[in-house]
Amino acid sequence: MKSLISQVARYALENPSSIREIMNVVADFRKHPEKYPRRLIYFGGGWPQDSPPEPLRRALIEVMEDKEDFMLAARYPPTRGDPDYLEALVVYEREIFGREVEESELLSGLGSTDLAAGLFFSILDPGDEIIITNPCYLNYTRQIEIIGRLGVNIKRWQTIKNGKFIPDLDELQSLITDKTKLILLVTPGNPDGQVFDERVLDGVVDIASERGILVAIDVAYRAFHYEGEVPSYLSRPRRENEVWIVTLSKELRVPGWRMGYLVADPSLLRAIETIQQAMTLCPAHPQQLAFVRMLSKDGVIEELQDFLLEKTPKKYQKVASLVCDELSKTPNIQYLRPSGGFYVFFDIRGIMASSKKFVSQLLDEWQVALAPGIDFGMEGWVRLSFAPVVEDQELLKEGMERIRRFILSKT
């Protein structure tokens, strides 16, 4: 069998996603808790513990109970998404996030992961270059390597220096060549929780625009801004060379429903759509109909505004602060205070050099799961996700205590 494995599959085998791999441990713990000396505390993935908004649950029940909708939900929707769903997304963007978009600028997919893959397939040829930040959400590197069949040059724009978020536009300029096709940003960031300010983000788009380059901006955590005003780029009209990568996984707490969409130039979306026709056929249908039903209800916009713009950032900011307070009591580490998202990224070089070793020893000895920084491009750092325990502060504190005891045992 080994001789049949392609070069790119060999790469994937050698570089599995550490977060997906830890999910296997979580699943095993659920099935066989007796094998573990104590309860597993999962700070590994971006997996919110709290419930999706109640109107969404009610709408899904209605879809299932309505025979006509139930039948419709069982059919293939168009590759771009059900037309009613696209119409509902226009309303959602406008009423919740203040952004005016046209239906022709929208393409829905099986989560944003599917759409990012479609984007990479649509623009990258062997020999092309792409610029990502360092650190960057780990799945992007893997996707680009796999889709580019290891032939795309991934350049990294170092945005964290000496433990601070300092994205320098001159440095970005120096990475661009005639082969650069795309600059990819995530804000608020994963794994670092840092937010691009308006001047820098617009500076990136200006530079890219002059050079005929696309900028993809992943706003998976746009409902999780903690400090001050939410940046205005989330609500201003899309600039020509921008592709906004949006997921409902985090903001609506439905990562298992696989709902995401792109906001981009219609001709680019058409290219991605035709790729998706071959790759996935179409996104799943029942949840699209539930979303449409939810938005048709009186008063739901106000409910969603309250859920997404008030309750969500408040709740997550509180837990982020708690994690930072706990980390402040832990010796020999430095952490980056997050301005958004649901991760705290911290420097463990005062304890050990290898983030993989740190993560695996912590899991073996104390049954606490973190994600290693090396997979995000930064060795010597680890990422803590508090989303899986956001409802359970006792468990969070216990996990932090175990981390502290682990660190003390190593120093």
Ligand X SMILES: Cc1ncc(COP(=O)(O)O)c(C=O)c1O
- Report the interface residues with ligand X, using CB under 6 A: 46, 111-113, 137, 186, 190, 218, 220, 247, 249, 255, 260
- Give residue 53's identity as a one-letter amino acid code: P
DSSP-derived letter for residue 340 is B
- Which CB atom, from 371 or from 407, has the smaller least distance to ligand X? 371
Q: At closest approach, how far in Å is the CB of 304 from ligand X?
A: 18
Q: At closest approach, how far in Å is the CB of 176 from ligand X?
A: 23
Q: At closest approach, how far in Å is the CB of 218 from ligand X?
A: 5
- Which CB atom, from 46 or from 81, has the smaller least distance to ligand X? 46
- Which CB atom, from 204 or from 407, has the smaller least distance to ligand X? 204
- Which CB atom, from 29 or from 221, has the smaller least distance to ligand X? 221
CA torsion 83-84-90-93 (nearest 10°) is -120
Tell me which residue has tokens 């970005």: 172
Q: At closest approach, how far in Å is the CB of 89 from ligand X?
A: 14
- Which CB atom, from 136 or from 351, has the smaller least distance to ligand X? 136
Of the candidates 238, 261, 404, which has an alpha carbon nearest to the alpha carbon of residue 332? 404
- Which CB atom, from 118 or from 148, has the smaller least distance to ligand X? 118
Strands 129-134 and 153-158: parallel
Number of CB atoms found within 10 A of residue 174's CB: 11
Can you say whether residue 258 is alpha, beta or left, with left for phi > 0 and alpha for psi between -120 and 50 degrees?
left
User: Are the beta carbons of 368 and 385 closer than 8 angstroms?
Assistant: no
- Which CB atom, from 148 or from 191, has the smaller least distance to ligand X? 191
Q: Give the tokens for residue 115.
A: 């759409």
Q: At closest approach, how far in Å is the CB of 219 from ligand X?
A: 9
Of the candidates 105, 124, 314, 112, which has an alpha carbon nearest to the alpha carbon of residue 227? 314
Give bridge partners of residue 384 from the DSSP assignment.
344
Of the candidates 37, 43, 25, 12, which has an alpha carbon nearest to the alpha carbon of residue 342? 43
Q: At closest approach, how far in Å is the CB of 329 from ligand X?
A: 28
In a 3-state reduction of DSSP, which class is residue 385? strand
